[in-house]
Structure 1
Amino acid sequence: MIEATWELIAAIIGIALVFDFTNGFHDSANSISTVVSTKVLSPRNAVVFAAFFNFVAAFGFGVAVANTISTIVELNVVSLAVVPYIVLGALIGAIAWNIITWFFGLPTSSSHALIGGLVGAGISAAGLAAIRWNTVGTVALFMVLSPIIGLICGFLFMAAILWLTRKANKQSAESHFKRLQLCSAAAYSFSHGTNDAQKTIGIILPLLFVVGYAGVGTNPNHLLVPAWVIIASYTTIAFGTLAGGWRIVRTMGYKITKLRPVQGFAAETAGAVTILGASVAGIPVSTTHVICSSIMGVGTTMGTSTVKWGVARSIVIAWVLTIPISAIIGFAAFAVIRVIIGY
């Protein structure tokens, strides 16, 4: 079998950062679709704004999510020599699914694509024992719960705002919420960086552990995160956000429901609260799922007919398919890699 060298590890870390870039590119719509659709910011200013707060999140809520991702593959079970190839197979699965869903304009989860890729590649390498299923189970549970929480929070935030502003002058309130939406968009972009950039950190850590990099420690169940990995991951996701994913912006900002600044503020605030809570708990949730469901929750306060449920149905189908399809791609990718490396 081809041994894991520093050159190989560096190359796979490079691919991990490519995934990080596609994550920012794919999920830029999460941060900017509402401020663009409500015309609070121009598309150009919106991506710069979102990218800045994606990066600032590096100095925020620790690395609990990264630690969760780094333990999905059981490093005590699989041969350490094969771990880089499992990560490579997982990245191929995740990047492939990101590109497919970007092409069709579907706001799916880069996070779940990565987790699916890890599961598929890990099983392909060493069977079911290679995966820490309690961690995957937690992710799967919150795959269902986080959109529901986002939906409920979006509805409740919007309902509360409507009640609090029921006697306010409509034009004056609209002007205030345009300014407030800058705060909510900043909070959402910050939360997006906090949860999503850590997923790339979480797959880089096992790579460094394999080659005995001193900065990550000696316990495979609790890897330490070097500062340079944090900075590299957050910088890359910020550049991905700068690149923008306009196909998905159109879906989220215009096709799910029509948004005004007050509704954009409610959706972003609900999404940020949900994601930051998950980040503190170390749970890798889908920022895409959360903001989509928050927008739907806000939309339902205007009546269920205002939400384009046909578009929402297509999005949900893509959500459901994300983990299994990326797992299949990851499994197949490792099977090909196995032949190449003679494992």
Structure 2
Amino acid sequence: MTLLIVIVILALIFDYINGFHDAANSIATIVSTKVLTPFQAVIWAAFFNFVAYFIFKDHAVANTIGKTVHQEFITLPVILAGLIAAIMWNLLTWWYGIPSSSSHTLIGGFAGAAISHAFLTKGFSNIATIIEIKKITEIILFIFLAPLIGMVISIYISVITIMRNTWAKIGLIILTAIGTWFLFAHFEQTKLEENLVNFYKIDILKKELAEDPTKAANYASAVAFTDAAKPMLADYKSLGATKLAEKIKTNVDGKVDAIALSKALAKGDNSIIVYGILIMIFIFICAYIYSEKIKSPNAYRTGRMFKKLQLISSGAFSIGHGGNDAQKVMGIIGAAFVAYNSTKYPDVGVALKELSWVPFACYTAIGLGTMSGGWKIVKTMGTKITKVTPLEGVAAETAGAFTLFMTEQMGIPVSTTHTITGAIIGVGATKRLSAVRWGVTVSLLWAWILTIPVSALLAGIIYLITSLFLK
């Protein structure tokens, strides 16, 4: 129990460090464009970091983090070594003002410590038996995809913004809104299916079946109920979680707890995110019409408009930052409880459901960390990559926020640092390629690439050392 408490405390400390290490991601542009003072900006960002607690209820990213290592190799000493390595690397990169990824540091540390544990207990093993290759591959892939997506979206927003034909501009924005609606509807449907599978504990029962063939009937009935209920999920929007759960109880599984099922399904609801994005789009449309049609357009008025819009875009990015990064620590704490008592907490999802204080604590810690700021990295992000105007700040933050919302829905833990950096590069490249300081960008890219292997190596060494004392 003592080691578990130490791990929880260290995880929350990491979350706090993550907050001030990554504070620059959401406030760099708003500070560099002088929309808010540094003090005002960190309060603004911290507030929206915590607002994410009320928005992201499915914990998809947390589940992914907790399942990057096979459960057999998740032990409390492994998690401890991974956390210590992550904290050390985070502090080192913060000290030198390098905007590396806190999340990839955590993932690398977790995997590296698990590999060391496997080596000590089983000798040389196939790495696929230690870590979840598919999940790690997705995470590594998004080291490159997240900034690329952020860059493409920021270029798209910048191009739309500088278009002279107001109505063509608004038409493109409306088409974008429609595309967003369908994209997030797809994400919601996928989440509903995942939540249904988790509710019937398909993965847990499958694991039990592998250990005990006599439990085949339990697994078969759970799969049958899940398969029969899946087609009904298409009615979620029209019925809502409560009525849909009652429908499943009536037509599929008469013994199911409809209240518990409705709560499980409701976690996949992304209506708040979709409506938030659509409200942002509506505000942008109104701002364009006001500044370009109702009032005579001029540089001063346009600049003022984008400074006001930057408050919205930076708030949205801070929500994405909180929702993405706090969940990573939730996943580690959940994994610690699984390692401590796998009977009571068979997987991370169950642990986080039972331990309702964990999400609250993680969102609070990252918010407090953000309030502490990270001024060295603010300087790099806000000025060294490219000089950012209010218009470009809005484009970069909006692109970053959309990317974070999208990847959170996919359950893929991405780096907020990589995402906003790619978006800032995009707005710089929209002006001209020479506006981006590519020397700085290449240095950042090397820091990104090295983060996972370096933190994994560091965690592996720390695990070997701590294993001498923790028997």
Same fold? TM cut 0.5: yes
Q: How many pairs does the alignment contain?
A: 331
Displacement of 1:61 in angstroms is 2.1
Task: Spell out the pairing of 1:23-172 with structure 2 (5 A cutoff).
Answer: 23-62=18-57, 63-75=59-71, 77-78=72-73, 83-127=75-119, 128=127, 129-163=129-163, 168-172=297-301
| Alpha-carbon distance in structure 1 between the residues aligned to 2:164 and 2:3 | 58
* Partner of residue 12, structure 1: 7
* Partner of residue 427, structure 2: 298
| Alpha-carbon distance in structure 2 between the residues aligned to 1:218 and 1:85 | 18
Q: Any idea what SS the aligned residue of 1:340 has?
A: coil
Contact 2:338 2:348 in 1 (8 A): no
Q: Deviations for 1:202-226, whole angstroms, at most 9, x for unmatched residues? A: 0000211233388xx5433743412
* Partner of residue 17, structure 2: 22
Q: Deviations for 1:267-313, whole angstroms, at most 9, x for unmatched residues? A: 00000000110001110000000000100000111101111111111
Q: Which amino acid aligns with 1:72?
A: T
Contact 1:67 1:223 in 2 (8 A): no
Match for 2:339 among 210, 220, 226?
A: 210
| Alpha-carbon distance in structure 2 between the residues aligned to 1:140 and 1:147 | 12
Q: 2:347 matched to 1:220?
A: yes
Root-mean-square deviation (CA, aligned residues, Å) is 1.5
| Alpha-carbon distance in structure 2 between the residues aligned to 1:171 and 1:114 | 44
Q: Any idea what SS the aligned residue of 1:257 has?
A: coil
TM value normalised by structure 1: 0.93
Contact 2:338 2:351 in 1 (8 A): no
Displacement of 1:332 in angstroms is 0.4
Cα pair distance change 1:329/1:192, threshold 3 Å: same
> Which runs of 5 or more structure 2 residues have no equivalent in the other structure?
120-126, 167-291
| Alpha-carbon distance in structure 1 between the residues aligned to 2:115 and 2:444 | 28
Match for 2:415 among 270, 276, 286?
A: 286
| Alpha-carbon distance in structure 2 between the residues aligned to 1:198 and 1:257 | 30
| Alpha-carbon distance in structure 2 between the residues aligned to 1:182 and 1:110 | 25
Structure label with greater radius of gyration: 2
TM value normalised by structure 2: 0.68
| Alpha-carbon distance in structure 1 between the residues aligned to 2:6 and 2:397 | 36
Displacement of 1:164 in angstroms is 5.0
Cα pair distance change 1:284/1:324, threshold 3 Å: same
Q: Deviations for 1:94-141, whole angstroms, at most 9, x for unmatched residues? A: 111111111111101000000100110000001432211111111111
Poorly superposed stretches of 4+, deviation over 6 Å: none
| Alpha-carbon distance in structure 2 between the residues aligned to 1:9 and 1:275 | 31
Q: Deviations for 1:38-97, whole angstroms, at most 9, x for unmatched residues? A: 00000000000000000110111221000000111211x23x6xx111111111111111
Match for 1:173 among 288, 302, 310?
A: 302
Q: Deviations for 1:306-339, whole angstroms, at most 9, x for unmatched residues? A: 1111111111111111001000001001010111
Identity, in percent, stands at: 45
Contact 1:195 1:284 in 2 (8 A): yes
Contact 1:165 1:173 in 2 (8 A): no
